[in-house]
């Protein structure tokens, strides 16, 4: 009840001076309050007033647009932690495979590394509670491992072939959450940086990676935003600023009650010269589209991949006193040419909106650029080369890369979805870690010499049969090169770092390979911007 009354007061007092129709809002707020009061005092059965208030808020927001929403306290925490860049915990990356928690990586300098926890360890018990073999969700495991900084958590670990469990007492600490997955030299002159989100620390992470690559001789850059669903608007502006000359418009926002606000580049850009390619796909959204749109509009670099998601609405977080939050759309953002890249939607029809990516696939868009049609009203021209670009539905790349459907089979999808590819990688390394480390002491040696053998593949087939996944020889043979590459990449991740995973997996990334080709051919890069 208190939450609902607060919302009513928030509406009637906080916005009263802003809205000319304040009296109307007062009237509607009283109406909602009376309905809740009647239910609370007259309804035949007991009613949870807090839940009713939440349902009322959710119902109102659902009638607005696809991105205005309500988050309960737990959802608010889960959403903000990755974007804020840190949380309190023990400092490991883990996977739950067949009811067992495998430690994939131990964060350098974190609490777990300090006490001697290692990659490959299997945590079977937390504070006297068994977590192995009990079908526990990842979120439940995280609740047991996370906690306030300075508090203790006891874990028991099974390590390699040792019979006895090893107990560790770990003092929780502040754990950084990194948004930069990989940064490495793809060739002698080309650097590669992959961002998975635009979090509070992303701009600093990006600048640090950029500086390291430049010291290694980087002249060209591939910025990978594939699957990057966005994050903070100001961080997108900060990163786009690294590529654009002073005073060039990056993005502007405007709404019915929000005046236009321009964000311009400063003089601090760390990569304003040199060839630049940005990789995008249908999973690149929001902040990713701001960066890609600014680079495309100023003809600063080549956008490679597939049409982006198309989210051009800006949400303002409105915290509520119980830790919950409303994320309310208050404006749209526009690229420098004036494009709003928000894809079409109808108010209150979120289901149709959420089916958009499936519709793109069904219409053949992910396989052929010819299936994409923009109306002439959405046509714009870039600001330097006067090239035609489009708004109203994501950023259309300069160079289209279709989805390669030849090796993605139902058999492959099933073994990936059930975690078997990950499991077989962990199982293999669990048995051979000591010999693998001796044989491949460096990543260069591993990448050059290690091959996924038939013994591993046969173990995978056997595991799939245990999981009631029917073997299909034709589909298996089609997907086999891809499966072997994924296993090799996963083993590299567990032996070394996430960057090494991408160095292997990118060997089969058509967008990445096309980017290297464009950069190596001077005329191809220039023509892509003409």
pLDDT tens, position by position, 359-383: 777 777 878 777 777 777 789 999 9
pLDDT at site 378: 84
- Report the 10 Å Cβ neighbour count for 447: 16
Predicted confidence (pLDDT) at residue 17 exceeds the cutoff of 70: no
> Of these residues, 158, 311, 488, 514, which one is catalytic?
311
For the question of residue 257 being annotated catalytic, the response is: no
* Predicted pLDDT at 427: 86
pLDDT bin (cut points 50, 70, 90) of residue 25 is low
CATH topology of domain 180-316+329-403: 2-enoyl-CoA Hydratase; Chain A, domain 1 (3.90.226)
In the structure, what pLDDT confidence band is assigned to residue 31 with cuts at 50, 70 and 90?
confident
Nearest to 379 by CA among 342, 345, 338, 344: 338
Cα–Cα dist 131/447, whole Å? 35
- pLDDT level of residue 124 (50, 70, 90 thresholds): confident
Show Cβ contacts of residue 277 under 8 Å, excluding neighbours closer than 6 positions: 220, 221, 222, 223, 301, 302, 303, 304, 515, 518, 519
Confidence of residue 73 (pLDDT cuts 50, 70, 90): confident
For residue 148, what are the contacts with CB-CB under 8 A and spacing of at least 6?
88, 172
In CATH terms, the fold of domain 86-176 is: Pdz3 Domain (2.30.42)
Question: What is the Cα–Cα distance from 133 to 150, expressed in whole angstroms?
Answer: 29
Q: Does residue 295 contact residue 285 with C-beta atoms inside 8 Å?
A: no
Query: What's the pLDDT score for residue 23?
Result: 56
Count of other CB atoms within 10 angstroms of residue 91:
22
- pTM as predicted: 0.84
The pLDDT of 63-74, averaged and rounded, is: 88
pLDDT at 448: 95
Kindly state the greatest CA–CA separation across the chain: 77
Angle between helices 473-495 and 498-505 in degrees, nearest 10 = 150
Q: What is residue 97's three-state secondary structure?
A: strand
Q: Which residues pair with 195 in a beta bridge?
A: 180
The catalytic residue among 238, 281, 297, 299 is 297
- Crossing angle (nearest 10°) for helices 473-495 and 420-439: 50
Q: Which residues contact 480 (CB under 8 A, 6 or more apart)?
A: 457
pLDDT in tens, 81-93: 767 767 788 888 7
List 201, 202, 286, 425, catalytic entry:
286
Closest to 372 measured CA to CA, from 396, 399, 353: 396
What's the whole-number mean pLDDT along residues 54-67? Answer: 88
**33 a catalytic residue:** no
Give the strand pairing for 276-280 and 302-305. Answer: parallel
C-alpha separations of 398 from 43, 72, 157, 195, 390 in Å: 60, 40, 51, 20, 11
Q: What's residue 5's pLDDT?
A: 40
pLDDT band at 405 (very low <50, low <70, confident <90, very high): confident
Given a cut of 70, whether residue 222 has pLDDT beyond it is yes
SS3 content of the chain, % helix, strand, coil (to 5): 40, 20, 35
CB within 8 A of 265, min separation 6: which ones? 240, 241, 244, 245, 246, 247, 248, 249, 250
Compute CA distances 429 → 92, 437, 493, 496, whole Å: 18, 10, 11, 12
pLDDT band for position 191 (cuts 50, 70, 90) = very high
Q: What is the pLDDT of residue 1?
A: 42
Percent of the chain clearing pLDDT 70 (strictly above)? 91
Q: In what order do the strands lie in the sheet with 190-195?
A: 180-185, 190-195, 220-224, 276-280, 302-305, 399-400
d(CA 282, CA 365): 10
pLDDT in tens, 305-356: 999 999 999 999 999 988 899 999 999 999 999 999 898 887 666 666 777 7
Look at residue 11 in the predicted model and tell me its pLDDT.
Answer: 40
Indicate whether 503 pLDDT > 90.
yes
- C-alpha dihedral (191, 197, 198, 199), degrees to nearest 10: -120
pLDDT at 239: 98
**Residue 286 annotated as catalytic:** yes
């Amino acid at each position: 009840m208190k939450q609902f009354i607060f919302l009513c007061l928030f509406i009637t007092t906080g916005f009263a001076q802003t809205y000319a129709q304040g009296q109307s809002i007062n009237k509607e707020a009283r109406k909602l309050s009376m309905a809740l009061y009647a239910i609370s005092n007259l309804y035949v059965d007991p009613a949870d007033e807090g839940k009713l208030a939440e349902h009322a808020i959710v119902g109102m927001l659902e009638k607005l647009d696809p991105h205005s929403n309500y988050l309960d306290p737990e959802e608010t925490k889960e959403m903000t932690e990755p974007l804020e860049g840190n949380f309190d915990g023990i400092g490991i990356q883990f996977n739950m495979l067949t009811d067992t928690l495998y430690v994939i990586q131990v964060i350098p300098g974190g609490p777990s590394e300090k006490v001697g926890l290692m990659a490959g360890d299997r945590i079977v018990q937390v504070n006297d509670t068994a977590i192995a073999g009990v079908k526990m969700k990842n979120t439940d495991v995280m609740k047991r491992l996370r906690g306030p900084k300075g508090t203790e958590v006891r874990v028991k670990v099974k390590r390699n072939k040792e019979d006895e469990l090893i107990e560790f007492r770990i003092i929780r600490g502040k754990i950084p959450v990194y948004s930069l997955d990989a940064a490495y030299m793809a060739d002698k002159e080309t650097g590669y940086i992959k961002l998975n989100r635009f979090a509070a620390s992303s701009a600093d992470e990006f600048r640090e990676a950029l500086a390291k690559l430049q010291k290694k001789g980087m002249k060209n850059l591939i910025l990978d935003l594939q699957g990057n669903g966005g994050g903070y608007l100001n961080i997108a502006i900060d990163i786009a600023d690294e590529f654009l000359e002073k005073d060039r418009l990056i993005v502007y926002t405007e709404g019915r009650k929000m005046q236009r606000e321009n964000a311009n580049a400063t003089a601090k850009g760390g990569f304003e010269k040199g060839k630049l390619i940005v990789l995008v796909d249908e999973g690149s959204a929001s902040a990713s589209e701001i960066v890609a749109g600014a680079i495309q509009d100023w003809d600063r670099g080549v956008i490679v991949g597939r049409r982006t998601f198309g989210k051009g609405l800006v949400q303002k977080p409105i915290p509520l006193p119980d830790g919950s939050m409303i994320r309310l759309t208050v404006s749209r953002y526009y690229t420098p040419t004036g494009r709003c890249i928000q894809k079409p939607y109808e108010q209150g029809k979120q289901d149709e909106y959420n089916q958009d990516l499936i519709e793109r696939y069904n219409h053949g868009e992910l396989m052929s650029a010819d299936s994409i049609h923009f109306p002439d009203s959405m046509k714009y021209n870039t600001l330097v080369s006067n090239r035609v670009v489009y708004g109203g539905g994501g950023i259309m790349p300069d160079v289209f890369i279709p989805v390669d459907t030849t090796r993605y089979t139902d058999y492959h999808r099933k073994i990936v979805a059930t975690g078997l590819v990950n499991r077989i990688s962990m199982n293999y390394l669990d048995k051979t870690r000591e010999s693998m480390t001796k044989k491949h002491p460096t990543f260069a040696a591993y990448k050059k010499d290690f091959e996924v053998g038939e013994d591993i593949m046969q173990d995978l087939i056997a595991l799939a049969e245990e999981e009631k996944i029917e073997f299909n020889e034709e589909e298996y043979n089609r997907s086999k090169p891809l499966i072997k590459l994924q296993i090799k990449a996963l083993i590299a991740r567990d032996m070394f770092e996430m960057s090494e995973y991408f160095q292997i997996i990118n060997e089969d990334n058509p967008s990445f390979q096309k980017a290297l080709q464009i950069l190596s051919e001077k005329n191809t890069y220039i023509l892509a911007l003409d």
